[in-house]
C-alpha cells in the first residue's frame, strides 16, 4: 500500500523537474567522490602498473612483504631478486610494491 501511495504522490507532483531536482544532490555527491577519491586512485594504480611492467635487471625493488633487493632477471610473470650477496629469491612480478629510484644512499655506507 505504501508503494502505491508513493507512486500517486510522484505522479501528482506535477512533472519531471521536481524529480530531477531531487536527484541533484546525489549527482553532486557522486561527482565529488569521482574527482577526489576514485579518479586519483585509478591514476596511482595506472602509474604503479607501468612502474612494475618496466622493471629491469639492476633495479632496486620492494616486495609486498617488505623485502628490499636488487633485480637480477625478469620474466613475464616472475622476477628474481637478490636480497643479500648470493641469496636470490623468485617473486611474482605483480606483488612488487615499489621500484626504488637509483642513486639513493645506503644507510650504512
What pTM does this model have?
0.65
Bridge partners, 91 (sequence order): 79
**Helix, strand, coil % (nearest 5) of the chain?**
45, 25, 25
Q: Residue written as cell 606483488?
A: 95
pLDDT of residue 18: 78
pLDDT of residue 9: 56
Is 85's pLDDT higher than 70? yes
Domains of the chain: 2-50 (no CATH), 55-100 (2.30.30.60)
Q: What is the pLDDT of residues 37-53, one digit of tens each?
A: 999 999 999 999 999 99
Q: Which of 9-13, 79-83, 94-98 bottoms out in mean pLDDT, i.e. has the lowest?
A: 9-13
pLDDT of residue 21: 84
Amino acid at each position: 500500500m505504501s508503494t502505491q501511495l508513493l507512486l500517486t504522490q510522484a505522479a501528482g507532483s506535477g512533472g519531471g523537474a521536481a524529480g530531477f531536482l531531487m536527484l541533484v544532490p546525489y549527482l553532486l555527491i557522486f561527482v565529488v567522490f569521482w574527482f577526489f577519491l576514485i579518479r586519483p586512485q585509478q591514476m596511482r594504480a595506472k602509474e604503479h602498473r607501468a612502474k612494475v611492467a618496466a622493471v629491469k635487471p639492476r633495479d632496486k625493488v620492494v616486495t609486498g612483504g617488505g623485502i628490499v633487493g636488487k633485480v637480477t632477471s625478469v620474466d613475464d610473470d616472475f622476477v628474481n631478486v637478490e636480497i643479500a650477496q648470493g641469496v636470490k629469491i623468485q617473486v611474482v612480478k605483480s606483488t612488487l610494491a615499489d621500484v626504488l629510484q637509483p642513486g639513493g644512499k645506503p644507510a650504512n655506507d
